[in-house]
């Protein structure tokens, strides 16, 4: 069951947000708080017991940004979605203050709010699955899911447009597996999604590499297709970036990701959606690339929907993919460069007030400079993130051959990211 805490001094806004949440999650536990009558929450407020906090207007006497700074300084505080007027300076300030996401009141819709909530919950689930939302233990059929007799449901990990992801325990082996279930089947209007779903399994099952997630099963049950894959219990790379990485750790993670991409590229596969939340860690500390729903044979065109949505994540997307051009393995190399920059600095190289603004900045803005103490890695970043694919490293082999002039183990700063 998802538990949401809403803060806003306007009763109609609190009611509206609560309605959106309970429409999507009927069993959600929603609490609201009116700072106009109850005043500021005390410093001792930890957010404990909540999966998510929605922070809106807190009145004229105080600033929501001040509240956000208080929350972000509290250990283990739940993720916060910040609501505001959409002013660019406020968006930047909210993220810097520790907000996990930002929604302007003008752009608020049911679809947008639910999508942002689902993304935020997915990114902040606990490594053991205890932070997963909406479901807990039991038979899958009792939860209205397909009858997968080999698996016992433990928790929902993510909910997407056409698929859901669950943590399960496999009968016989007693091991935890992640099961991705597709809700649309051929003939139901979801043929394209179904094709991508099958492709994800077929492409990655053919790759045997220690840094690529292991696929275990593909099947159909009760008109649902499903994929079973290994469960990486130690969370995502995003969490480690937020906690702070040493240069040595960042360099090793880069090489592990590059080796995994090399194995994919040898099979003619591009990942297409490389980002920190798609890099997970196993119990033994090893790294694995996951989520190949956008993976495709090399030399594809970026796909744009009828509503203008570009598949992929703008923060990590190459200029050619963001603008619908021809993309090959060098697009993955660009994304790897973006992640390496973020691992070194704790911040993304390009930001913007909208997805399209980020895409334009990747195309037009110069590659940002690393701090002086990291300058030896600048030529490496420049080659990976060159605007023109012909000026990048042309293969993962070239990436792995590059070495810095010197290596120093320095603790990088702890930085909260959006």
290 with 191, same domain: the answer is no
Structure tokens at 66: 């001040």
Q: Lowest mean pLDDT: which of 15-24, 137-146, 243-252, 337-346?
A: 137-146
141 with 77, same domain: the answer is no
Strand partners, 225: 182, 220
Structure tokens at 37: 């009558």
Contact (Cβ atoms closer than 8 angstroms) between residue 181 and residue 146: yes
Q: Does residue 245 lie within any of the structural domains?
A: yes
Give catalytic residues, as residue numbers.
273
242 with 387, same domain: the answer is yes
Mind giving me the DSSP string for 102-165? EEEGGG--HHHHHHHHHHHHHHT--TTSTT--S-EEE-GGGGT----TTEEEEEEEEE-SSEEE
43 with 148, same domain: the answer is no
- Give the domain-ending residue among 94, 123, 152: 123
Here the CATH number for the domain that contains residue 48 is 3.40.50.2300
- Residue 4: CB atoms within 10 A of its CB come to 25
Q: Lowest mean pLDDT: which of 17-26, 123-132, 230-239, 274-283?
A: 123-132
375 with 243, same domain: the answer is yes
Contacts with 16 (C-beta within 8 Å, 6 or more apart), sequence order: none
Q: Which domain holds residue 72?
A: 3-123
259 with 396, same domain: the answer is yes
- Give the domain-ending residue among 210, 230, 250: 230
Q: Does residue 410 lie within any of the structural domains?
A: no
Q: Does residue 131 lie within any of the structural domains?
A: no
155 with 257, same domain: the answer is no
Structure tokens at 221: 């049950």
Here the CATH number for the domain that contains residue 188 is 3.30.200.20
Q: What is the mean pLDDT of residues 100-121?
A: 87
Structure tokens at 357: 């603004």
Into how many domains does the chain fold? 3
What is the β-pairing status of strands 80-84 and 29-33? unpaired
Whole-angstrom Cα Rg for the chain: 22
Structure tokens at 394: 């042309």
Q: Does residue 247 lie within any of the structural domains?
A: yes
253 with 327, same domain: the answer is yes
Mind giving me the DSSP string for 331-382? HHHHHHHHHHHHHHHSS-S---SSHHHHHHHHHHSPPPPPPGGGGGGHHHHH
pLDDT higher for 119 or 386?
386
Structure tokens at 224: 């649902």
187 with 147, same domain: the answer is yes
224 with 242, same domain: the answer is no
CA max distance for the chain: 62
Q: Does residue 143 lie within any of the structural domains?
A: yes
Whole-number pLDDT of residue 191: 55
Structure tokens at 200: 């994800």
60 with 144, same domain: the answer is no
Whole-angstrom Cα distance, residue 137 to residue 25?
Answer: 17
Strand partners, 179: 166, 228
211 with 359, same domain: the answer is no
pLDDT higher for 155 or 19?
19
User: Please, what is the average pLDDT of the chain?
Assistant: 81
What is the β-pairing status of strands 326-327 and 80-84? unpaired
Structure tokens at 340: 């390496």
Structure tokens at 366: 């110069």
User: What is the percent of the chain with per-residue pLDDT over 90, rounded to a whole number?
Assistant: 36
pLDDT tens digits for 277-336?
889 999 899 999 987 654 554 433 333 333 333 445 688 988 887 777 777 889 999 999
Whole-angstrom Cα distance, residue 73 to residue 60?
Answer: 23
């Amino acid at each position: 069951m998802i538990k949401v805490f809403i803060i806003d001094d306007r009763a109609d806004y609190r009611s509206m947000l609560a309605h959106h949440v309970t429409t999507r999650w009927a069993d959600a536990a929603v609490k609201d708080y009116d700072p106009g009558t109850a005043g500021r929450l005390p410093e001792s407020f930890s957010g404990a017991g909540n999966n998510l906090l929605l922070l809106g207007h807190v009145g004229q006497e105080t600033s929501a940004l001040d509240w956000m700074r208080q929350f972000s300084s509290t250990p283990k505080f739940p993720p916060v979605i910040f609501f505001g007027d959409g002013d660019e300076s406020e968006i930047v300030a909210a993220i810097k203050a520790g907000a996990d996401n930002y929604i302007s009141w003008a752009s608020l819709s049911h679809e947008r709010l639910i999508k942002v909530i689902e993304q935020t919950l997915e990114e902040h689930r606990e490594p053991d699955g205890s932070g997963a939302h909406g479901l807990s233990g039991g038979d899958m059929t009792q939860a209205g899911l397909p009858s997968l007799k080999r698996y016992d449901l433990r928790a929902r990990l993510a909910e997407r447009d056409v698929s859901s992801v669950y943590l399960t325990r496999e009968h016989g082996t007693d091991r935890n597996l992640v099961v991705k279930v597709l809700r649309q089947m051929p003939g139901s209007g979801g043929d394209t999604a179904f094709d991508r779903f099958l492709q994800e399994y077929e492409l990655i099952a053919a790759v045997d590499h220690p840094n690529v997630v292991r696929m275990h099963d593909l099947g159909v049950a009760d008109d649902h297709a499903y994929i079973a894959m290994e469960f990486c219990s130690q969370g995502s790379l995003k969490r480690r970036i937020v906690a702070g990485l040493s240069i040595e750790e960042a360099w090793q993670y880069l090489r592990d990701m590059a080796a995994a991409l090399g194995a994919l590229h040898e099979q003619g596969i591009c990942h297409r959606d490389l980002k920190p939340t798609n890099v997970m860690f196993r119990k033994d500390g090893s790294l694995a690339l996951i989520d190949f729903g956008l993976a495709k044979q090399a030399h594809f065109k970026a796909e744009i929907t009828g509503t203008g949505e570009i598949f992929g994540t703008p923060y990590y997307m190459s200029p050619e993919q963001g603008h619908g051009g021809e993309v090959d393995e060098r697009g993955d190399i660009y994304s790897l460069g973006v992640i390496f920059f973020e691992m070194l600095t704790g911040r993304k190289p390009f930001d913007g007030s909208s997805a399209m603004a980020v895409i334009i900045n990747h195309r037009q803005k110069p590659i940002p400079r690393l701090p002086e103490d990291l300058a030896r890695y600048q030529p490496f970043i420049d080659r990976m993130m060159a605007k023109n694919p012909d000026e990048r490293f042309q293969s993962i082999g070239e990436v792995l051959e590059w070495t810095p002039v010197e290596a120093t183990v320095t603790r990088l700063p702890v930085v909260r990211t959006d």
